[in-house]
Structure formats: structure tokens, C-alpha cells
Chains A and B, each alone.
Chain A
Amino acid sequence: MSYKEMTIWGTLVVTIGLLSYYMLGINSLQAAGALSQETMVSYLYRVAVVAVILEIIMQSVLAGIKHKEADLGDDERDKLIDLKSTKLGHWFCSATILICVFLATQIERVSGRMLLPEVSDLYNIMHFLIIGFLVSEIITIASKAYLYRRDS
């Protein structure tokens, strides 16, 4: 397996892990009755720090294993795969944003009936945006992994 593919699979695992970590964390805070805007924000910072650390570790380990390939840039096929995958992820991300805009316009109707009643509507929309962003990242990376596998 090439360095590029290994990086993609690694990033996919990290991103799925982050989404699970975020969802499980918020759910356990909610179950413990400790969910508030402050705990949510501090948990979000923790997730961001974990994301950066995991990505650095993964990239360093892979670059160490395949240091020769790590120095090579993207060729035309890599760029094409990147373009196709990003387009797919962008579509999902745009859909999430549009849903959030719709929710914002209907805020009086949906207020108090969202996923996290413990926090304000603004935080609920933020929660929805974070999930949408991570899912769109997963779609992008998974489609890259699929396109690399299909053509190899």
C-alpha cells in the first residue's frame, strides 16, 4: 500500500474516532446531567486538541515508515481523486449548512425541541454543524480511499 493510501486510511480512522469521541463525550455529559454551554465548549476544545495531536502522530509515524514516498508531491491522478472526493464532501457540507440556515430561520418553532435541550439553540446549531462537518470529512476521505482502491 502506498504512502498516500496509508495516510488516507489513517486519516479516516482518526476522523471516525474523533466523531465517536465527540458524540460519546456529549452523550455521557448529557447522561450525567453535566451538560452546559461551558462544559460543551471545554469538551470541544479537548476534541480539537486530540484531533491535532492524533494527526501529528499519524503523519509522523507514516512519514517515518515511508519517508521516501512522503517527500513526493501529488501527481495528476492524485489531484483528480482529490477533486472528485472533495466535491462529494463539499455537497454534504453545503447541505448541512443549508439545513442550519433553515433551522435558524425557524428558530422560534424548533426552540427547546432540538437534540440538546440543556444548551441554547445557538449551541444546538453549532453541535449540528460540527457533526455535519465531521461527516462530510468522513465522506471525502472514504471516497478517496474507494477511488484509490478501485483504480489500483
Chain B
Amino acid sequence: MTKQLSNTIRELRFHHNEMTQQALAEAVGVSRQTIVAIEKGKYSPSLEVAFKIAQLFDKKLDDVFSYQ
């Protein structure tokens, strides 16, 4: 079975005052479309962006992204 990268970004955004995709995109320095693609699991971000997202939500990388 092939493993896939999944994430909890949508949930984390919801718990952070319903942060918009645009606000998250601006905070980590990518476009809103990239955030949409990451959330849907259609694009795997670079380590740098992944760490930026995790740090923004004050979480560990494992809490945001999982590979299973």
C-alpha cells in the first residue's frame, strides 16, 4: 500500500480563530492556491514551509503532517 502525506492544517486553522487560507499563505510566504493544494494533500510542501506552518500554530511537525 502506498503511503500518503496528510495534514491537519484545516483543523488547526479552525482552532486559530478560523484563520483564513489567505492569512496563512501570507504568514508562511506562499500563495493561497499553494495552501489549498497542501490542505487537499495534492502538493507536498518543502521542509521549510512545513516547519513554518508548524511553528505558526505552535505545534511539532509530526502534529501537523503525517506520512501513513
Contacts and interface: CB of A to CB of B under 8 A. Distances in A.
A148 interface: yes
Classify the secondary structure of A's interface with B: helix
Given A76-B46, A151-B37, A152-B36, 7 more contacts: A2-B32, A76-B34, A77-B33, A77-B34, A78-B34, A151-B42, A152-B33
22 contacts: A2-B31, A2-B32, A4-B31, A5-B33, A72-B31, A75-B29, A75-B31, A75-B34, A76-B34, A77-B31, A77-B33, A77-B34, A77-B37, A77-B43, A78-B34, A151-B33, A151-B42, A151-B43, A152-B33, A152-B36, A152-B37, A152-B42
Q: DSSP majority for the B interface? A: loop
Contacts of A152: 33, 36-37, 42
Interface of B: 29-34, 36-37, 40, 42-43, 45-46, 49
A150 interface: yes
